[in-house]
């Protein structure tokens, strides 16, 4: 499945290419499941910078079986079940993956459930424990708490003894409450007022996937010594791209300018690839950690719908309209 040009879901196209052979350092993986994320939609629409060169195959995560190992490459044996987070390439029947990105799929774990977990729980794990380093007894605010990353935060924070306040629609409040979170109605309540009414009047960390001017509002809810973590630009689909990235109301105003104010608070934009540079072992460790939690039944990623790979465009439409609750997972024919 490829994106030959930028645009709506209709630009997604099935492509039939020759089966690629892995080079040194690579492994060919027969894909069993691939998750659909909002980041796929943003890249397809071209509303944020840094996307792969077109045509490209979307998909940040994949679960599959090692099919062939490149010459002289140390990797799991053919037939081994593996999980990988990649920059692109998940929406495929076969994918070439760098051997050092493969993490074993634990015994007994369903590939679809692993795909529903891999990306969302990995980034939530990193932002909670490596980026903000929130301790037991801490309090955080998560925007979009009923979404894929939001529910991952709720479960992982619960295991860590961290209290989560989460913005969501009124219709999803009970879902957030059932996972141990404390819902804030995103349409009727100002989350800053809710936070100011808490003991201490602020939280240890805020996690914001919305972007634009929302970053600055989130920053205002953080205590001294705390951090506002941006991890998306979802508002880019609704607003002016330039305003989202520059100026007082955009990325510059919400992430960069607060760094110039000596108020004891931090801002940063989470990027898993950048984190790997400063913590080379983080990728393997953190992905293995969340997969082990899944194997032990300590987390329960929500699979909203499984869909054939050739229905990827419909999967994007369903995600854009919030027609599905839980992760959408694509399954190639014959998987």
For residue 4, how many other CB atoms are within 10 A of its CB?
A: 12
Q: What is the pLDDT of residues 193-230, one digit of tens each?
A: 999 999 999 999 999 998 878 888 999 999 999 999 99
pTM: 0.91
Q: What is the pLDDT of residues 88-144, one digit of tens each?
A: 999 999 999 999 999 999 999 999 999 999 999 999 999 999 999 999 999 999 999
Res 250 pLDDT > 70: no
Contact 42, 69 (CB under 8 A): no
For residues 143 and 52, the model is more confident at 143
Give CA angle at 171 (321, 112), nearest 5°. Answer: 55
Identify the bridge partners of residue 330 per DSSP, sorted by sequence position. Answer: 34, 307
Q: Which residues contact 36 (CB under 8 A, 6 or more apart)?
A: 59, 312, 315, 316, 319, 327, 328, 329, 330
């Amino acid at each position: 499945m490829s994106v030959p040009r930028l645009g709506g879901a209709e630009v997604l196209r099935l492509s039939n290419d020759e089966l690629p052979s892995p080079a040194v350092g690579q492994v060919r993986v027969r894909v069993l499941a691939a998750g659909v994320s909002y980041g796929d939609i943003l890249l397809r629409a071209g509303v944020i910078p840094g996307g792969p060169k077109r045509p490209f195959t979307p998909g940040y995560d994949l679960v599959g079986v090692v099919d062939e190992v490149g010459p002289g490459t140390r990797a799991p044996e053919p037939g081994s079940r593996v999980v990988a987070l990649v920059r692109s390439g998940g929406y495929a029947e076969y994918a070439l993956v760098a051997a050092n990105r493969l993490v074993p799929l634990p015994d007994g774990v369903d590939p679809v459930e692993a795909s529903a977990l891999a990306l969302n729980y990995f980034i939530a794990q990193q932002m909670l424990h490596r980026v903000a380093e929130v301790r037991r007894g801490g309090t955080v605010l998560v925007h979009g708490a009923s979404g894929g990353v939001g529910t991952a935060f709720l479960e992982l924070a619960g295991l860590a003894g961290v209290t989560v306040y989460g913005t969501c629609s009124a219709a999803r409040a009970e879902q957030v409450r059932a996972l141990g979170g404390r819902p804030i109605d995103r349409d009727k309540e100002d989350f800053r007022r809710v936070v100011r009414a808490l003991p201490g009047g602020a939280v240890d960390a805020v996690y914001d996937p919305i972007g634009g001017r929302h970053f600055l509002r989130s920053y205002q809810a953080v205590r001294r010594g705390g951090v506002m973590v941006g991890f998306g630009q979802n508002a880019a689909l609704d607003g002016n791209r330039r305003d989202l990235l520059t100026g007082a109301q955009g990325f510059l105003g919400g992430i960069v300018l607060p760094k110039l104010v000596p108020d004891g608070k931090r801002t940063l934009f989470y990027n898993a690839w950048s984190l790997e540079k400063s913590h080379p072992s983080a990728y393997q460790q953190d992905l293995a950690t969340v997969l082990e939690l899944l194997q032990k039944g300590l987390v329960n990623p929500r699979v909203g719908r499984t869909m054939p790979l050739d229905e990827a465009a419909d999967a994007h439409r369903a995600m854009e309209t919030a027609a599905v609750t839980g992760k959408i997972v694509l399954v190639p024919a014959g998987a």
